[in-house]
Amino acid sequence: MHKLKIFLGYFLTVIIVLLVVAYYVLLHFNHIALPDYNKNINLKGLKGKVEVYRDAYAIPHVYAENEEDLYRVVGYLMAQDRLWQMDLLRRLTLGKLSEIFGNDLLKTDILMRSLQIPQKSKMVMAQCSPQLIKALEAYTNGVNQYIAQSKHRLPIEFVILGYKPEPWEIEHSINFISYMAWDLNGCWNSEIVLHKLVSKLTKAQLTDLIPNNDSVKSTIYNTQDKFSNIDWRSVLMDASSKIEDLGLQVFHGSNNWVVAGSKTVSGKPILANDMHLRFSVPGIWYQIHEIIPGKLNVTGVALPGQPFVISGHNDSIAWGLTNVMNDDIDFYRETINPTDSLKYRFNGEWKNMVVKPESFVVKGRGKININLKFTHRGPVISSLKNVKGEVISMRWMGNEMSNEMRSIYLLNRASN
């Protein structure tokens, strides 16, 4: 009995020591990547002096003498504060999540590769002005300088998952245009579910699911007294909560509004902007203030991974964004050649599908090769939506040419 007590004493001592060591190891890795905001940093390629002031909320105010210096430092700062988030979003747009998370994310990677986001980004790059490309190059360089300087003090997520971030490229920043567009699409989930319901419900039942808004009359009340005791939010959300569980999120929206200067104490207008995006840690936005004296003075929120203020104000104007959840996807039930599954019918003729081999490196499984199929409209997505016995392709407006990066760059400089 005495020997057993001695053994248990040693055993408990060892366990306590291991727990203490593990605690301090985790504490070390959890704090090693925290930046020193008071430190002077020498960045290669700067043409002049750049000063960064952090306010009480650690929001950076960046003063530079030229655009390239400004965006080089902005790239460094964003990587300093949000490198893990930036890398995660980059992996999402490239279809490389399963490389670090394993097989559970393979289907997501297949979807993202099917969207061909990098192909769209190359289209955008080809039509960007030299000035815009220079700004993105400087930003990319700043990100990469931080990555190079921080190989041994990366955020703890990299340590836990056992990998290091690859160098940043201009294309990765432009990819985020499509990421936002896809994240805010309104019908990837709902339309396929409704399509499946067609075979299960009567026409009358389907009509009940999709009411005719033209028959609904609007009423405007001059007083809210009789309704003041009703929790309208809970009424609306309770009615839609089960639909949300099915992936059919209907009660989405966003808003912004302005109060005229004639109605404010300051005599100046006030703009409010509520984009109704998800809460997350870290948040989807990165607050920043970018200043080139006499040339640029813009502040607001940027998306980590790209350098421009997406919603905010400069010294002349303020602007906000709202999401209307428009229908930007069309699905097509294809007629397949009975003797050749890679041919589909279009305008009375058989057309060949494009088959694109994709290689996925899956953690715990190694390399997996999958052939993605495309019609002239876009990817074949039947298997991704578990549709049996049909071949369905998808056209997404996010694949069409647009250059939001240019628009935001110019908006930051707009004067009226």
| Domain annotation covers residue 332 | no
pLDDT one-digit tens code per residue, 373-408: 999 999 999 999 888 889 999 999 999 999 999 999
Kindly report the average pLDDT of the chain as a whole number: 87
CATH code of residue 69: 1.10.439.10
Q: Is the pLDDT of residue 27 over 80?
A: no
**Is residue 10 included in any domain, yes or no?**
no
CB 168 within 8 A of CB 140: yes
The pLDDT tens digits for 95-104 are 999 999 999 9
Place 236 in a pLDDT band, splitting at 50, 70 and 90. very low
> Domain containing 79: what range?
44-185+278-324+403-411
What six digits make up the tokens of 78? 């964003």
Evaluate whether residue 9 is within a structural domain. no
The answer to whether residue 286 sits within a structural domain is: yes
Q: How many domains does the chain have?
A: 1
At 354-375, the pLDDT tens digits run 999 999 999 999 999 999 999 9
Is 11 within the bounds of a domain?
A: no
Q: Which tens digit of pLDDT belongs to each residue from 311-329?
A: 999 999 999 988 776 789 9
Task: Calculate mean pLDDT across residues 44-73.
Answer: 97
Residue 21, pLDDT score: 66
Q: pLDDT confidence of 239, banded at 50, 70, 90?
A: very low
Which three-class secondary structure state does DSSP give residue 377? coil
Determine the Cα–Cα distance for residues 156 and 322; give it in Å rounded to an integer. 35
| % of the chain surpassing 90 pLDDT | 65
Q: What is the pLDDT of residue 229?
A: 55
Tell me if 151 is assigned to some domain: yes
- 34 occurs within a structural domain: no
Q: Which residue has the higher pLDDT, 178 or 277?
A: 178
